Amino acid sequence: MAETLTLLDYWPSMFGMRCRIALREKDIKFEYQEQDLWSKSPLLLEMNPIYKKIPVLIHNGKPICESLIIVEYIDETWKGKAPLLPSDPYERAQARFWADYVDKKIYEGGRNVWSTTGEDQGEAKKEYIERLKVLEGVLGDKPFFGGDSFGFTDIALIPYYSWFYSYEICANFSIEAECPKLISWAKRCMEKESVSESLPDPEKIYMLLLELKKKAGK
């Protein structure tokens, strides 16, 4: 029986982008199914009945949910090419720790930047920059977070690069001015085909964000 692999996703989702990058980094063929998050498909509800969220990777009919879990699953299932997690247990733990930091601090921080105004936005912007500077410190002078090789923490963070433009326009600041090494890292990641093919046009995301803000009355 032929192997089947389907990704239920939504094009501007940084969580979905992680899965697309990991699959392309491993050169794995997959079917992409775009989902409408405002009218969820029966397949999405069937495959992720607990959270009812994308992304969901369906491998031979079996669902795997949550983006970082999906990336680890991809790495463990297709070991032959481009390892994403380090082989050393300590380094692997560190990669997971910083990927978790991205989930807990960077997603919420970015949302606070674009969804607030006035003094609240000023505070949100300051806090977001501080969080990015923490990651810039972890990166240091290395090409990638894991050293010379593109890997797990890079995949966790790089999708946000496609949203930086929107945050900057909404809050009138420059991430590159504040975190130049981080932006150099992002541009280095974008040289990889797996990344450039998976991240959408930042201006397209900004247009979507304007629609979201309008719906929210902001």
CB 188, CB 143: distance < 8 Å = yes
pLDDT at 94: 98
Strands 31-34 and 5-9: parallel
- Domain extents for the chain? 5-77, 89-216
Q: 89-216 adopts what CATH topology?
A: Glutathione S-transferase Yfyf (Class Pi); Chain A, domain 2 (1.20.1050)
Can you identify the CATH homologous superfamily of domain 5-77?
Glutaredoxin (3.40.30.10)
Give the model's pLDDT for residue 133: 98
The pLDDT of residue 17: 98
- Structure token pair of residue 74: 């991809």
Same fold, 5-77 and 89-216: no
Q: What is the pLDDT of residues 30-67, one digit of tens each?
A: 999 999 999 999 999 999 999 999 999 999 999 999 99
Q: What is the 3-state secondary structure (H, E, C) of 40-57?
A: CCHHHHHHCCCCCCCCEE
Name the stretches of the chain with pLDDT < 70: 1, 218
Check residue 218 and give its pLDDT: 62
Helices (H), 5-88: 14-25, 42-47, 67-77
| Interacting residues of 85 by C-beta distance below 8 A, sequence separation 6+ | 72, 75, 92, 95, 96, 151, 152
| Pairing, β 31-34 against β 56-59 | unpaired
Q: CB count, 10 Å around CB of 39?
A: 6
